[in-house]
Structure 1
Amino acid sequence: MRHFTQRARTRALKTLKQAALASVLLAGAAAAMAQGADTPIGTWQTIDDHTGQPKALVQITQDNNGELNGKVIKGLGPNDDPQRRCTACTDARKDQLILGMTIINDMKKSDSGWDGGNILDPENGKIYKCKMHVEDNGQKLVVRGYIGISLLGRSQTWNRVQ
Protein backbone atom coordinates (compact mmCIF):
# COMPACT_ATOMS: atom_id res chain seq x y z
CA MET A 1 0.00 0.00 0.00
CA ARG A 2 2.86 2.35 0.84
CA HIS A 3 4.42 1.80 -2.63
CA PHE A 4 1.11 2.67 -4.32
CA THR A 5 0.77 5.87 -2.28
CA GLN A 6 4.31 6.98 -3.13
CA ARG A 7 3.66 6.34 -6.82
CA ALA A 8 0.41 8.34 -6.66
CA ARG A 9 2.23 11.23 -4.94
CA THR A 10 4.95 11.17 -7.59
CA ARG A 11 2.36 11.27 -10.37
CA ALA A 12 0.43 14.07 -8.67
CA LEU A 13 3.61 16.09 -8.19
CA LYS A 14 4.57 15.58 -11.84
CA THR A 15 1.09 16.71 -12.94
CA LEU A 16 1.34 19.81 -10.74
CA LYS A 17 4.76 20.67 -12.17
CA GLN A 18 3.44 20.29 -15.73
CA ALA A 19 0.43 22.47 -14.91
CA ALA A 20 2.69 25.13 -13.38
CA LEU A 21 4.97 25.08 -16.43
CA ALA A 22 1.98 25.36 -18.76
CA SER A 23 0.71 28.31 -16.74
CA VAL A 24 4.06 30.08 -16.98
CA LEU A 25 4.25 29.44 -20.73
CA LEU A 26 0.72 30.74 -21.27
CA ALA A 27 1.43 33.85 -19.20
CA GLY A 28 4.59 34.47 -21.22
CA ALA A 29 2.73 34.03 -24.51
CA ALA A 30 -0.01 36.40 -23.36
CA ALA A 31 2.58 38.99 -22.34
CA ALA A 32 4.35 38.66 -25.70
CA MET A 33 1.07 39.09 -27.55
CA ALA A 34 0.16 42.14 -25.48
CA GLN A 35 3.62 43.61 -26.05
CA GLY A 36 3.35 42.98 -29.79
CA ALA A 37 0.89 45.83 -30.19
CA ASP A 38 3.29 48.49 -28.92
CA THR A 39 6.73 47.26 -29.93
CA PRO A 40 8.59 47.04 -33.23
CA ILE A 41 9.92 43.61 -32.31
CA GLY A 42 8.86 41.28 -35.12
CA THR A 43 8.98 41.01 -38.90
CA TRP A 44 8.10 43.95 -41.14
CA GLN A 45 7.46 44.31 -44.85
CA THR A 46 9.20 47.37 -46.27
CA ILE A 47 7.77 49.29 -49.20
CA ASP A 48 9.77 50.67 -52.15
CA ASP A 49 9.58 54.49 -52.20
CA HIS A 50 9.53 54.64 -56.00
CA THR A 51 7.16 51.79 -56.95
CA GLY A 52 5.03 51.48 -53.80
CA GLN A 53 5.56 47.71 -54.00
CA PRO A 54 6.82 45.39 -51.22
CA LYS A 55 10.62 45.46 -51.18
CA ALA A 56 11.99 43.33 -48.33
CA LEU A 57 11.29 41.71 -44.98
CA VAL A 58 13.17 43.16 -42.02
CA GLN A 59 13.25 41.32 -38.70
CA ILE A 60 13.61 43.53 -35.64
CA THR A 61 14.94 41.93 -32.47
CA GLN A 62 15.96 43.12 -29.03
CA ASP A 63 19.49 42.54 -27.73
CA ASN A 64 20.61 41.93 -24.14
CA ASN A 65 20.94 45.70 -23.56
CA GLY A 66 17.29 46.28 -24.51
CA GLU A 67 18.25 47.92 -27.80
CA LEU A 68 16.51 47.06 -31.06
CA ASN A 69 18.31 45.98 -34.22
CA GLY A 70 16.91 44.99 -37.59
CA LYS A 71 18.21 42.82 -40.39
CA VAL A 72 17.05 41.99 -43.90
CA ILE A 73 15.74 38.42 -43.94
CA LYS A 74 14.17 38.30 -47.40
CA GLY A 75 14.03 40.35 -50.57
CA LEU A 76 10.59 40.72 -52.15
CA GLY A 77 11.18 42.77 -55.29
CA PRO A 78 10.55 41.22 -58.70
CA ASN A 79 14.22 41.65 -59.63
CA ASP A 80 15.58 40.77 -56.20
CA ASP A 81 18.84 38.88 -56.31
CA PRO A 82 19.79 37.01 -53.10
CA GLN A 83 23.45 37.55 -54.06
CA ARG A 84 23.05 41.34 -54.25
CA ARG A 85 25.71 43.20 -52.29
CA CYS A 86 25.93 46.62 -50.71
CA THR A 87 28.48 48.05 -53.15
CA ALA A 88 27.64 51.64 -52.11
CA CYS A 89 28.31 50.99 -48.39
CA THR A 90 31.35 52.73 -46.97
CA ASP A 91 31.63 50.97 -43.58
CA ALA A 92 32.31 47.33 -42.65
CA ARG A 93 29.25 46.30 -44.70
CA LYS A 94 30.96 47.31 -47.97
CA ASP A 95 30.40 44.56 -50.58
CA GLN A 96 28.55 42.38 -48.05
CA LEU A 97 25.34 40.54 -48.97
CA ILE A 98 22.25 42.63 -48.29
CA LEU A 99 20.35 39.47 -47.37
CA GLY A 100 21.14 38.89 -43.70
CA MET A 101 22.61 42.38 -43.27
CA THR A 102 21.81 44.38 -40.14
CA ILE A 103 20.48 47.74 -41.35
CA ILE A 104 19.00 49.09 -38.08
CA ASN A 105 21.23 49.46 -35.02
CA ASP A 106 21.02 50.58 -31.40
CA MET A 107 17.41 51.80 -31.19
CA LYS A 108 16.46 52.73 -27.61
CA LYS A 109 13.02 53.15 -26.04
CA SER A 110 11.94 56.79 -25.72
CA ASP A 111 8.74 58.59 -24.72
CA SER A 112 7.48 58.70 -28.30
CA GLY A 113 8.76 55.33 -29.56
CA TRP A 114 12.36 54.33 -30.26
CA ASP A 115 15.31 56.47 -31.29
CA GLY A 116 19.02 57.05 -30.77
CA GLY A 117 20.04 54.49 -33.35
CA ASN A 118 20.74 54.51 -37.04
CA ILE A 119 19.52 52.96 -40.26
CA LEU A 120 21.42 52.06 -43.42
CA ASP A 121 19.90 52.52 -46.86
CA PRO A 122 21.57 49.69 -48.82
CA GLU A 123 20.56 51.35 -52.10
CA ASN A 124 22.87 54.31 -51.60
CA GLY A 125 25.08 53.12 -48.72
CA LYS A 126 24.17 56.09 -46.54
CA ILE A 127 23.64 55.80 -42.80
CA TYR A 128 20.98 58.00 -41.22
CA LYS A 129 19.92 58.70 -37.66
CA CYS A 130 16.69 56.86 -37.03
CA LYS A 131 13.54 57.05 -34.98
CA MET A 132 10.46 54.86 -35.15
CA HIS A 133 7.07 54.31 -33.60
CA VAL A 134 4.20 51.85 -34.05
CA GLU A 135 0.71 52.80 -35.20
CA ASP A 136 -2.57 51.12 -36.07
CA ASN A 137 -2.59 48.86 -33.01
CA GLY A 138 0.95 47.65 -33.72
CA GLN A 139 0.34 46.76 -37.37
CA LYS A 140 2.32 49.64 -38.89
CA LEU A 141 5.82 50.87 -38.10
CA VAL A 142 6.72 54.42 -39.06
CA VAL A 143 10.50 54.56 -39.63
CA ARG A 144 12.14 57.96 -40.06
CA GLY A 145 15.70 58.33 -41.30
CA TYR A 146 17.26 61.77 -41.03
CA ILE A 147 20.44 63.83 -41.05
CA GLY A 148 21.03 66.24 -38.18
CA ILE A 149 17.49 66.99 -37.01
CA SER A 150 14.38 64.91 -37.56
CA LEU A 151 12.82 67.58 -39.78
CA LEU A 152 15.48 66.88 -42.41
CA GLY A 153 14.59 63.35 -43.40
CA ARG A 154 11.96 61.02 -44.77
CA SER A 155 9.60 58.48 -43.28
CA GLN A 156 8.47 55.09 -44.48
CA THR A 157 5.57 53.05 -43.15
CA TRP A 158 6.26 49.34 -42.87
CA ASN A 159 3.59 46.65 -42.41
CA ARG A 160 3.81 43.94 -39.77
CA VAL A 161 4.02 40.40 -41.11
CA GLN A 162 2.10 37.83 -39.05
Structure 2
Amino acid sequence: MKKIISLSFFTGLVIVSTAALAQDISGTWQQIDDKTGSPKAVIEIRKESNNTYTGKITKITPRPGYTPRERCNNCPAPYTNQPILGMEILKGLKQVEGTNNYEKGRVIDPLSGKFYDAKMKLSTTGKRLSLRAYLGVSALGRNQTWLRIE
Protein backbone atom coordinates (compact mmCIF):
# COMPACT_ATOMS: atom_id res chain seq x y z
CA MET A 1 0.00 0.00 0.00
CA LYS A 2 2.84 2.39 0.78
CA LYS A 3 4.35 1.82 -2.67
CA ILE A 4 1.10 2.70 -4.42
CA ILE A 5 0.73 5.95 -2.47
CA SER A 6 4.35 6.90 -3.17
CA LEU A 7 3.98 6.11 -6.86
CA SER A 8 0.77 8.12 -7.04
CA PHE A 9 2.44 11.07 -5.29
CA PHE A 10 5.46 10.86 -7.64
CA THR A 11 3.24 10.76 -10.73
CA GLY A 12 1.48 13.93 -9.54
CA LEU A 13 4.82 15.73 -9.25
CA VAL A 14 5.83 14.73 -12.76
CA ILE A 15 2.57 16.04 -14.21
CA VAL A 16 2.88 19.35 -12.37
CA SER A 17 6.51 19.84 -13.37
CA THR A 18 5.79 19.04 -17.04
CA ALA A 19 2.97 21.60 -17.11
CA ALA A 20 5.24 24.16 -15.47
CA LEU A 21 7.75 23.76 -18.32
CA ALA A 22 5.20 24.73 -20.97
CA GLN A 23 5.58 28.43 -21.77
CA ASP A 24 3.72 30.90 -23.91
CA ILE A 25 5.25 32.25 -27.14
CA SER A 26 3.43 35.59 -26.91
CA GLY A 27 5.83 38.50 -27.14
CA THR A 28 8.33 40.16 -29.44
CA TRP A 29 10.84 38.10 -31.44
CA GLN A 30 13.86 38.91 -33.63
CA GLN A 31 13.67 36.82 -36.80
CA ILE A 32 17.08 35.55 -37.91
CA ASP A 33 17.70 34.90 -41.62
CA ASP A 34 18.42 31.18 -42.02
CA LYS A 35 20.73 31.82 -45.00
CA THR A 36 22.85 34.72 -43.71
CA GLY A 37 22.43 34.47 -39.92
CA SER A 38 21.69 38.19 -39.71
CA PRO A 39 18.59 39.80 -38.13
CA LYS A 40 15.75 40.11 -40.63
CA ALA A 41 12.61 41.45 -38.93
CA VAL A 42 10.89 41.86 -35.60
CA ILE A 43 7.75 39.75 -35.16
CA GLU A 44 5.10 40.29 -32.50
CA ILE A 45 3.24 37.10 -31.56
CA ARG A 46 -0.06 37.30 -29.71
CA LYS A 47 -2.53 34.74 -28.44
CA GLU A 48 -5.99 35.02 -29.97
CA SER A 49 -9.31 34.38 -28.19
CA ASN A 50 -9.56 30.94 -29.88
CA ASN A 51 -6.20 29.90 -28.29
CA THR A 52 -4.26 30.12 -31.56
CA TYR A 53 -1.24 32.36 -32.12
CA THR A 54 -0.80 35.07 -34.74
CA GLY A 55 2.42 36.87 -35.65
CA LYS A 56 2.89 40.18 -37.47
CA ILE A 57 5.93 42.11 -38.66
CA THR A 58 6.45 45.19 -36.49
CA LYS A 59 9.89 46.20 -37.77
CA ILE A 60 12.08 45.37 -40.75
CA THR A 61 15.71 45.18 -39.68
CA PRO A 62 17.98 47.05 -42.12
CA ARG A 63 21.00 45.10 -43.35
CA PRO A 64 24.08 46.54 -45.06
CA GLY A 65 23.83 46.42 -48.84
CA TYR A 66 20.16 45.39 -48.81
CA THR A 67 17.14 47.53 -49.62
CA PRO A 68 14.10 45.90 -48.02
CA ARG A 69 10.96 45.42 -50.06
CA GLU A 70 8.01 47.50 -48.96
CA ARG A 71 5.18 45.38 -50.36
CA CYS A 72 4.32 41.68 -50.46
CA ASN A 73 5.78 40.20 -53.66
CA ASN A 74 3.55 37.90 -55.79
CA CYS A 75 1.22 37.40 -52.81
CA PRO A 76 -2.29 36.00 -53.19
CA ALA A 77 -5.37 37.83 -51.86
CA PRO A 78 -5.80 39.23 -49.23
CA TYR A 79 -2.03 39.90 -49.14
CA THR A 80 -1.79 41.24 -52.71
CA ASN A 81 0.41 44.36 -52.73
CA GLN A 82 0.01 44.68 -48.93
CA PRO A 83 2.77 46.53 -47.03
CA ILE A 84 5.16 44.06 -45.38
CA LEU A 85 5.42 46.23 -42.27
CA GLY A 86 2.36 45.36 -40.16
CA MET A 87 1.60 42.22 -42.16
CA GLU A 88 0.32 39.13 -40.32
CA ILE A 89 2.69 36.42 -41.54
CA LEU A 90 1.86 33.68 -39.02
CA LYS A 91 -1.63 32.35 -38.28
CA GLY A 92 -3.41 29.44 -36.63
CA LEU A 93 -0.54 28.08 -34.53
CA LYS A 94 -1.80 25.89 -31.65
CA GLN A 95 0.12 24.75 -28.58
CA VAL A 96 0.45 21.00 -28.08
CA GLU A 97 -0.90 20.68 -24.54
CA GLY A 98 1.71 20.36 -21.80
CA THR A 99 4.66 20.96 -24.15
CA ASN A 100 6.67 23.79 -25.67
CA ASN A 101 5.61 22.66 -29.17
CA TYR A 102 3.21 24.55 -31.42
CA GLU A 103 1.64 23.06 -34.58
CA LYS A 104 -0.92 23.44 -37.36
CA GLY A 105 0.06 27.00 -38.25
CA ARG A 106 0.49 28.71 -41.61
CA VAL A 107 3.21 31.19 -42.51
CA ILE A 108 3.62 33.37 -45.59
CA ASP A 109 6.95 34.47 -46.99
CA PRO A 110 6.27 38.05 -48.15
CA LEU A 111 9.37 38.00 -50.38
CA SER A 112 8.10 35.06 -52.47
CA GLY A 113 4.33 35.14 -51.81
CA LYS A 114 4.34 31.46 -50.83
CA PHE A 115 2.41 29.89 -47.96
CA TYR A 116 3.90 27.11 -45.83
CA ASP A 117 2.68 24.87 -43.04
CA ALA A 118 4.37 25.88 -39.81
CA LYS A 119 5.30 24.44 -36.47
CA MET A 120 7.43 25.91 -33.71
CA LYS A 121 9.33 24.77 -30.67
CA LEU A 122 10.14 27.04 -27.75
CA SER A 123 13.44 26.40 -25.97
CA THR A 124 13.34 25.43 -22.29
CA THR A 125 14.70 28.88 -21.39
CA GLY A 126 11.88 30.54 -23.35
CA LYS A 127 14.35 32.74 -25.24
CA ARG A 128 14.66 30.88 -28.55
CA LEU A 129 11.90 29.84 -30.92
CA SER A 130 12.58 27.41 -33.77
CA LEU A 131 10.25 27.72 -36.75
CA ARG A 132 9.88 24.83 -39.18
CA ALA A 133 8.18 25.93 -42.42
CA TYR A 134 7.33 23.18 -44.89
CA LEU A 135 5.10 22.03 -47.72
CA GLY A 136 3.05 18.97 -46.82
CA VAL A 137 5.79 16.95 -45.12
CA SER A 138 7.92 18.45 -42.35
CA ALA A 139 11.04 16.75 -43.76
CA LEU A 140 10.67 18.97 -46.85
CA GLY A 141 11.16 22.35 -45.25
CA ARG A 142 13.49 24.86 -43.66
CA ASN A 143 14.26 25.97 -40.13
CA GLN A 144 14.50 29.51 -38.87
CA THR A 145 15.45 30.79 -35.41
CA TRP A 146 13.69 33.61 -33.64
CA LEU A 147 15.17 35.21 -30.51
CA ARG A 148 12.98 36.73 -27.79
CA ILE A 149 13.36 40.48 -27.33
CA GLU A 150 12.98 41.45 -23.67
User: TM-score surpassing 0.5?
Assistant: yes
Q: What is the RMSD computed on CA atoms of the aligned residues? A: 2.0
Structure number with greater Rg is: 1
1:1-162 matches, cutoff 5 A:
38-78=23-63, 79-81=66-68, 84-111=70-97, 112=99, 113-162=101-150
User: Quick one: higher RCO (CA 8 Å, sep 6+), 1 or 2?
Assistant: 2
Contact 2:75 2:112 in 1 (8 A): yes
1:96-122: CA deviation from partner (whole Å, max 9, x where unpaired): 000000000011111551111100111
Instruction: Structure 2: state its 5+ residue gaps.
Output: 1-19
Task: Tell me the distance in 1 between the aligned counterparts of 2:108 and 2:23.
Answer: 23
1:123-153: CA deviation from partner (whole Å, max 9, x where unpaired): 1110000000101400000001011111111
Instruction: Structure 1: state its 5+ residue gaps.
Output: 1-34
TM-score, normalised relative to structure 2: 0.78
Give 1:80 shift: 5.0
Identity across the alignment (%): 39
Deviation >4 Å, runs of 4+ = none
1:63-92: CA deviation from partner (whole Å, max 9, x where unpaired): 1111100000000022455x7000221231
Q: How has the CA–CA distance of structure 1 residues 55 and 37 changed in structure 2, closer, same or farther, with 3 Å as cutoff?
A: farther
TM-score, normalised relative to structure 1: 0.72
Contact 2:132 2:144 in 1 (8 A): yes
